[in-house]
Amino acid sequence: MRTYKPFDVFNKTFISILALLCTLPLLLVLIVSITDERSIQSRGYSFFPDQWSFDAYRMLFSGSSPLLQSYIVSITVTVVGTLLAVMITSMAGYTLAARHVRYRNGLAMFFFVTMVFNTGLVPWYMISTKLGLQNNIWALIIPSLVFNPFNLFLARNYMKQIPESLIEAAKMDGANDAFIAFRIFFPLSLPVLATITLFYGIGYWNNWFNAIMLVDTPNLYPLQYLLFKLNSEISMIQQMQSTTASLSTSLLPTESIKMATAIVTIGPIVLFYPFLQRYFIKGLLIGSVKE
């Protein structure tokens, strides 16, 4: 194989270029976020701006900017939602995996049907509003997010591999199903629980659909939705400025502040990325094997 040296060099270079293409666009967003507004106005977005400035971040992190409020909303929704979702999913996963439960396959069918036939947006919206899931934090947590049959089957398939004899032995010692699930099955299923935690966590952090459908009070905007709104509504930025006096220039950093918000929104994902990708890849590989 030594004879393929030139190809190896080409291959490594080519792949590096592709990987660069995956990161450069994000780098541009980062650079624009720390570019001085006048520099943007004269030369547009650029990898090599004339002048740097952290005004955008200064404005974002000033006391009354909506960013902090949205950050709190996003973190609350992600933490509470993910915890609830993982609980609901793993408990049901145990029931479907336990062989002594006679109707487990009937139950699995019950969940599966909704995966294949989806009635879509309108009934979902109407039921959510009917349940009072509108303009409150639960609207961002419960509808369509807190339980996902795909994750349920992921958990079940993993738990199925745990030997039934463990359940029998525990029952002999007088343990009930709740005890077996929480004390025996869940600790043995940590890899798959980590994976579904990650799927739900990412789902919550990146979700803005619930906000666009069910929320219209700005203090309930999650980060992603704030970001979505920011690009179309300059008024939101102007409002930010009126409450921020400490800027070094009088020029409003309209462009850089959008990009700075985007960067701040990516932040946690970058932070957790080593963990994310490890369990994500595991989950992908578990998920692609059925039964």
Within 109-128, the residues that bind another protein by CB under 8 A are 110-114, 116-127
Interaction of residue 132 with another protein, rule CB under 8 A: no
Interaction of residue 139 with another protein, rule CB under 8 A: no
The stretch near another protein (CB under 8 A) out of 61-69, 74-82, 90-98, 242-250 is 90-98
Interaction of residue 197 with another protein, rule CB under 8 A: no
Taking CB under 8 A as the criterion, which residues in 240-259 touch another protein?
255, 258-259
Among residues 41, 48, 29, 15, which one has the least CA distance to residue 261? 29
CA–CA separation, 71 vs 78, rounded Å? 10
Between 52 and 243, name the residue whose CB sits nearer to another protein: 52
Between 4 and 64, name the residue whose CB sits nearer to another protein: 4
Three-state SS across 141-178?
CCCCCCCCHHHHHHHHHHHCCCCHHHHHHHHHCCCCHH
Size of the residue set binding another protein (CB under 8 A)? 99
Between 64 and 231, name the residue whose CB sits nearer to another protein: 231
Taking CB under 8 A as the criterion, which residues in 198-227 touch another protein?
202, 205-209, 212-213, 224-225, 227
Interaction of residue 2 with another protein, rule CB under 8 A: no
- Please name the residues in contact with 29: beta carbons below 8 A apart, sequence gap of 6 or more: 259, 262, 263
CA–CA separation, 154 vs 284, rounded Å? 10
Q: How far is the CB of 244 from another protein (least distance, A)?
A: 22
Q: How far is the CB of 262 from another protein (least distance, A)?
A: 4
Within 10 A of 101 (CB to CB), how many other CB atoms are there? 14
CA–CA separation, 186 vs 190, rounded Å? 6
Between 12 and 243, name the residue whose CB sits nearer to another protein: 12
Interface characters, 40-79, with another protein (x: CB under 8 A): xx-xxxx---------------------------------
CB 137 within 8 A of CB 77: yes
Q: How far is the CB of 250 from another protein (least distance, A)?
A: 20
Among residues 106, 93, 87, 85, which one has the least CA distance to residue 160? 93
CB 258 within 8 A of CB 231: yes
The stretch near another protein (CB under 8 A) out of 57-65, 73-81, 89-97, 188-196 is 89-97
CA–CA separation, 46 vs 34, rounded Å? 11
